[in-house]
Structure 1
Amino acid sequence: MGTNMRKRIYRFLFACAGVVWFPAVAVPQSLPPLFAAAKLWELIGTPSDATGLGLLVDVAGPGGAPRDGVLDLVAPMQSQQVVVLVGRGDGSFSQSPLVGELNGIPTALATGDFDGDGGAEVIVGDSSNFLSVLRSESGSLVAVGAPIDLRFLPRGLATGDFDRDGHLDLLAVGENLQQAGLGWVLFGEGDGTFTPAAETIETGSGTAAVAVADFNGDGRLDFAVANELLNEVVQYVGDGRGGFARAQRWNSGGEGPIAVAAPDVNGDGRADVIALNGASDTVSFGLTQPNGQWGAARVFRTGAPASSPRGLAIGDVNGDGRVDVVVANNFSFDTGVLFGDGLGGFAPVRLFVADAEPVGVVVGDLNQDRRADVVALTRGGGARPTAAVLISTAGNRLIGAENIPLESVPNFVASGDVDGDGLLDLAVTSPGSVVGQASIQVVASAGGGLFVPWSPVSGSGDAIAAVVTDVDGDLKPEVIVLQSTPAALQVYRPRRRTLEFAREVRLGTGTPRAMVAADFNRDGRGDVAVAVQAAEGGNVQVLTGAPQAMLQPRTTIAVGDFPLGVATGDFNRDGLVDLITANNGSSNVSVALGNGDGTFRQATSVGVAQAPRAITVADFDRDGFDDVAVGFPVAGSIQVLFGDGTGRFPSTISPLGFGTGGEVPSAVWARDVNGDGLPDILASGEVGSIVRAFVRTGAATARTFQSAGSFSTNRRPISMAVGDFDGDGRYDAAAAASSPAPTVSVLLNVSGSSVRRGEANEDGRVTAADLTAVVRKVATFEKVRVEDVAVRGNTVVGRGADADGDGELTPLDIMATAAWSFR
């Protein structure tokens, strides 16, 4: 260890000698599955049959029994059928759906007790301009009476007693062939039949939805329609006899309003107006004044840019008695929740992954805990459309992966404790729409599953990758961004919730493809290895860290063609960091053994089954020798190569498959995700928009893996990072999606045992003794992954020594340990 580095470490230890400690917190019990995810329930038909229409209402009990007081899901399909998933009262549904037949493709939906028997009927409007009334009988949905001819396309239905005769009436709105908006009141007779009003109501152009409420407080029901083509919501006041007059045209504050609702968002007893602007990714609110008029629109984002919201629902999701707003975002595969403050304001939207292409959303208390749960109606990522159930929990969360909205479409995500608070953050690169407009954005963890995106920082080039490491050895991280045009590294330092450019270092000839960081010369500073494709073939260019955030070129190693992935390990068990590349052009991997001074021996090649794209390293069979997992984009599989401790890989097992044809593993990681001390494999699937988990099974020395399921992300995850992003002592996953709606999907681990971050000596507290243990461990400058902390090197520490949760022990864990000691 260098003298200056030793002085820095011990000076830091002396300063922390008086650190106080706090009692250990209770360790959560393991919960299946591995990651928090929406529960998917298949509907009937093909993905294109999903309409987005849905209701949560009690229509039947299990097995066709009478109503049981539990909410069921009613979902009309484009196959001209209505599916009912019967609720069990615990957030789940019966596997045997009820099915009813329709006369056309469903376009509108409502429910109400129209015959006074205390139960709800379902009314469906369809593409043949008819309304059908359905009732649950003997395990099926049956029509009540003949269909009602509207003579226009129904796009919205609402109920209320418009003539105040004690019977529930129906209001249908929609448009004719000329897209002229129309409304028609059908007066209920109390026996399930209706008498249409003498005249229809002209409602505007492109009328898409309707909501009913008493806006002016006169005791008579009014209604509001969303006119998609005019970007407006129009209020009509009722006269209490079934007649209506237009009272206000209200600018929705966005483009293409496709849904409208009328809850009381500020608790003043007056119904307000909410409009979902599908073409501008916003929702707008207008507070109702004492005279019944709506105030100017207040506009909130519903998700990432270009997320294309399709559905709107209102409910109390977090159980605080205030109105929350839920939307279905089609392009980003998520539902957005805006939690209300009860005063007319809403928190920034939080996004929870549902399934592929949500087209509608409904809310209701599915498990009887007095919080509204969320059901997204999706086209699904498989053979059938799905209902994706997201159960509400404490802390303004739904049980599911969370999408963090970004400012521009990402192409890479890296992890590291950028702000030095002990919690692992994300650094996301974006190439920009044209060369020279690249950016990098930090998504900082606030703990407990909360994230705070920093403002993006613009840079030059195209920003194809990033790493977080301590280049100059001051125990503070830098963010290194790799550019391919021009070939360069850009160094940034965090400062006041942003990144400041420090310097740019040009690379040698060739086109950079991938990058990895490690301490190659054992001086306590982070170094960088860049995989490059040059005219003469592939190579790896190694740059070593130096003071003032400098990176100095050290050596270049020839490897196979088109190295798309690069990773580090200790393949000959000499305690020095080695390099390995996944060479897509030559269908092999190249191993370069390190000399411990930043130079490497000549690389040797090992053939693999196909052209590899991604690579990761771990000792999977716990024999003390590092192994390799390689992802193949053509076969959609992962091959594990087992090392023999000499830099060779003489044995393998059958490839691990995704289970679906045409999948492309865009990233492969090795981490112990189920807490059994054995490294598992995570792979992001770019085609299926999933993260797939393979866990080690059998004895510690076994070479067996078992699929632990697939977990949905935003569309086309192009990159992935794995680490403990919420600080709970378990390894999570974060996938950057190349969807038009830019997000990073964070999958929080809910399975397996956890550790306390910073607790290196496993005594139940984080003190200066843990700092000492971490310092002694990292001062050997050996590459040590978290699963090897107790078996490699002369100093034994617990898994909590990985204080920043990145899966490895580095000098940055010293600062993270100090941060945890004060939490």
Structure 2
Amino acid sequence: MLGLVVIGCGQVERSSLPGGLVATDITVTQVPTNSSPLFVKVADFNGDGQLELIASDRTNNKLQIVSNAELSEISLSNSPGQCAVGDFVGDSRPDLAVALRDGSSVLIFDHGDSTQSSSVAVGTSPQALGAVDLDGDGRTDLVVGNVSSNDVTVLWGQAGGGLGSPLTFACGASPVQVLVQDVDADGKADILVSNFDSGSVSCFRNGGSRNFTLAQTLAVGQSPFGLTAADFNGDGKLDLAVANEADGNLTRWLGGEGGLFEQAQTIPAGAKPDCLVPWDVNQDGFLDLLVTLEDEGGVAILSGDGQGNFARTQLVLTNGGPVDIQLVSLDGVNQQAVTANFFGQGLSLLTPFVKKAVSSEMTKDPNDFRAPR
């Protein structure tokens, strides 16, 4: 049985908040995994009705799985990248896919069973994964970003089960993250790729016949890593935010006509932003952004104003330098965020409590959110 440790809760780090926002306390709960995970995935991959937290431990070549407060491990042949969950073997049960970062394959665990696995060949140094039905045939397809071969592999779900008929197309240099969403609202999921060494995002349009065309290449900052898409300004179109690791900022693009992005804006974030998720943390009706800051040892909250603008209003310290972040509702009611603390230890759960009123003189207590040493 795992012991969950409450680290603390913190206050707003600015003397006042833009737009009359309310203040949010965040309780941080440590989920020990005996590792320093780089990525985390949230899914019910064993079909028991309970969500699992799956941590990619690149240091020890393992997956560490937290399920019902119990910790289990799956040993791998080399360093894991991201995980994805879907019915990859065609038995109507969720399976677990993991990219093997030091090779050229993705490993599929049948129903999450570590004793029943198969592998599929992809490009060199696969890291990023996305699982979705791309061609509308009712079967789960797998999107893979291959860091060293600078390309994307799409593996199509087969009628008899399994993944096959790979489609590979070039992108920018070092595709470290993929985002699979319907950008142009045509009912088909498109593919966005952050190219770490190119300083760009490649936007591939789904043609609907198992083909993708490059619709747009977006110039962002240096070393883009995480990316997320949501309607930030309430106009019904998907907008895009990208974390630029080397610049300490985000690039935000608004959605335009035909699924193209326009009106780029640079938003300060903090030291070495890696991954980000949209979430109305302060419950004011506008989406905010939660951004992991590897070199600040915590998560920055960038409060949104509903017009596509964001300003950093809070820093929540986790147990070490977080890289990945995902949203989760472990009890099916309350929303939380979970971080993978690669330069610290284990996972951290962030649970918000929104205050009804806030003083303009509120300041951050420097003792809040201190992780155990």
- Which interval holds the TM-score relative to the shorter structure? 0.7 to 0.9
Write the distance in 2 (CA, Å) between the matches of 1:686 and 1:492. 29
1:697 counterpart = 2:353: yes
2:224 aligned residue: 563
1:499 aligned residue: 163
For residues 142-198 of structure 1, the C-alpha deviation after alignment (integer angstroms, 9 at most, x for no partner) is xxxxxxxxxxxxxxxxxxxxxxxxxxxxxxxxxxxxxxxxxxxxxxxxxxxxxxxxx
Q: Which amino acid aligns with 2:104?
A: A
Write the distance in 1 (CA, Å) between the matches of 2:85 and 2:64. 21
Q: Please say if residues 294 and 343 of structure 2, whose CA atoms lie closer than 8 Å, have aligned partners that are also in contact.
A: no
2:48 aligned residue: none
Q: Find the partner of 1:684 among 327, 334, 340.
A: 340
2:259 aligned residue: 598
Write the distance in 2 (CA, Å) between the matches of 1:556 and 1:438. 26
Write the distance in 1 (CA, Å) between the matches of 2:101 and 2:346. 23
2:235 aligned residue: 574
Q: Find the partner of 1:528 among 187, 191, 214.
A: 191
1:539 counterpart = 2:200: yes
Write the distance in 2 (CA, Å) between the matches of 1:673 and 1:701. 28
Write the distance in 2 (CA, Å) between the matches of 1:477 and 1:352. 24
1:470 aligned residue: 133
Alignment of 1:309-388 (within 5 A): none
Structure 1 runs not aligned, ≥5 long = 1-36, 42-330, 335-350, 355-396, 711-823
Q: Find the partner of 1:640 among 277, 301, 304.
A: 301
Normalising by the residue count of structure 2, what TM-score does the alignment of the two structures yield?
0.73
1:512 aligned residue: 175
Q: Please say if residues 203 and 214 of structure 2, whose CA atoms lie closer than 8 Å, have aligned partners that are also in contact.
A: yes
- 1:512–1:570 Cα change, 3 Å: same
**3-state SS, counterpart of residue 610 of structure 1:** coil
- 1:581–1:420 Cα change, 3 Å: farther
Q: Please say if residues 297 and 317 of structure 2, whose CA atoms lie closer than 8 Å, have aligned partners that are also in contact.
A: yes
Q: Please say if residues 621 and 701 of structure 1, whose CA atoms lie closer than 8 Å, have aligned partners that are also in contact.
A: no
Alignment of 1:256-275 (within 5 A): none
Q: Which amino acid aligns with 1:593?
A: L
The number of residues matched between the two structures is 309
**3-state SS, counterpart of residue 686 of structure 1:** strand
Q: Please say if residues 144 and 178 of structure 2, whose CA atoms lie closer than 8 Å, have aligned partners that are also in contact.
A: no
Normalising by the residue count of structure 1, what TM-score does the alignment of the two structures yield?
0.35
2:72 aligned residue: 402
TM superposition shift of 1:482: 0.8
Q: Please say if residues 125 and 148 of structure 2, whose CA atoms lie closer than 8 Å, have aligned partners that are also in contact.
A: yes
- 1:640–1:701 Cα change, 3 Å: farther
1:440 aligned residue: 106
- 1:504–1:611 Cα change, 3 Å: same
Write the distance in 2 (CA, Å) between the matches of 1:700 and 1:515. 38
Higher relative contact order (CA 8 A, sep 6+): 2
Q: Please say if residues 512 and 531 of structure 1, whose CA atoms lie closer than 8 Å, have aligned partners that are also in contact.
A: yes
Please say which of residues 517-526 and 687-696 is displaced more in the overlay: 687-696
Q: Which amino acid aligns with 1:503?
A: L
Q: Find the partner of 1:412 among 79, 82, 86.
A: 82
Write the distance in 2 (CA, Å) between the matches of 1:487 and 1:586. 22
Q: Find the partner of 2:147 among 474, 481, 484.
A: 484
2:275 aligned residue: 614
TM superposition shift of 1:650: 3.2
Structure 2 runs not aligned, ≥5 long = 6-58, 359-363
Q: Please say if residues 621 and 700 of structure 1, whose CA atoms lie closer than 8 Å, have aligned partners that are also in contact.
A: no
Alignment of 1:784-823 (within 5 A): none
1:425 counterpart = 2:64: no
**3-state SS, counterpart of residue 597 of structure 1:** helix
2:123 aligned residue: 460
- 1:696–1:444 Cα change, 3 Å: farther
TM superposition shift of 1:352: 8.1
TM superposition shift of 1:491: 0.9
TM superposition shift of 1:487: 1.5
Alignment of 1:734-749 (within 5 A): none
1:658 aligned residue: 318
Write the distance in 2 (CA, Å) between the matches of 1:40 and 1:519. 37
Q: Which amino acid aligns with 2:350?
A: F
- 1:594–1:333 Cα change, 3 Å: closer
2:328 aligned residue: 671
Q: Please say if residues 279 and 289 of structure 2, whose CA atoms lie closer than 8 Å, have aligned partners that are also in contact.
A: yes
2:19 aligned residue: none
Q: Which amino acid aligns with 1:516?
A: L
Write the distance in 1 (CA, Å) between the matches of 2:179 and 2:301. 20
Write the distance in 2 (CA, Å) between the matches of 1:40 and 1:609. 28
Write the distance in 2 (CA, Å) between the matches of 1:629 and 1:426. 26
TM superposition shift of 1:635: 1.7
TM superposition shift of 1:666: 2.2
**3-state SS, counterpart of residue 603 of structure 1:** strand
Q: Please say if residues 615 and 668 of structure 1, whose CA atoms lie closer than 8 Å, have aligned partners that are also in contact.
A: yes
Write the distance in 2 (CA, Å) between the matches of 1:515 and 1:576. 19
1:175 aligned residue: none
- 1:601–1:399 Cα change, 3 Å: closer
Write the distance in 2 (CA, Å) between the matches of 1:398 and 1:580. 33
- 1:618–1:503 Cα change, 3 Å: same
Write the distance in 2 (CA, Å) between the matches of 1:485 and 1:333. 19
Write the distance in 2 (CA, Å) between the matches of 1:497 and 1:422. 10
TM superposition shift of 1:420: 6.0
TM superposition shift of 1:415: 3.2
- 1:651–1:615 Cα change, 3 Å: closer
Write the distance in 1 (CA, Å) between the matches of 2:298 and 2:130. 26
For residues 2-38 of structure 1, the C-alpha deviation after alignment (integer angstroms, 9 at most, x for no partner) is xxxxxxxxxxxxxxxxxxxxxxxxxxxxxxxxxxx43
Q: Please say if residues 61 and 80 of structure 2, whose CA atoms lie closer than 8 Å, have aligned partners that are also in contact.
A: no
TM superposition shift of 1:644: 0.7
Aligned-residue CA RMSD in angstroms? Answer: 3.3
Q: Which amino acid aligns with 1:669?
A: Q
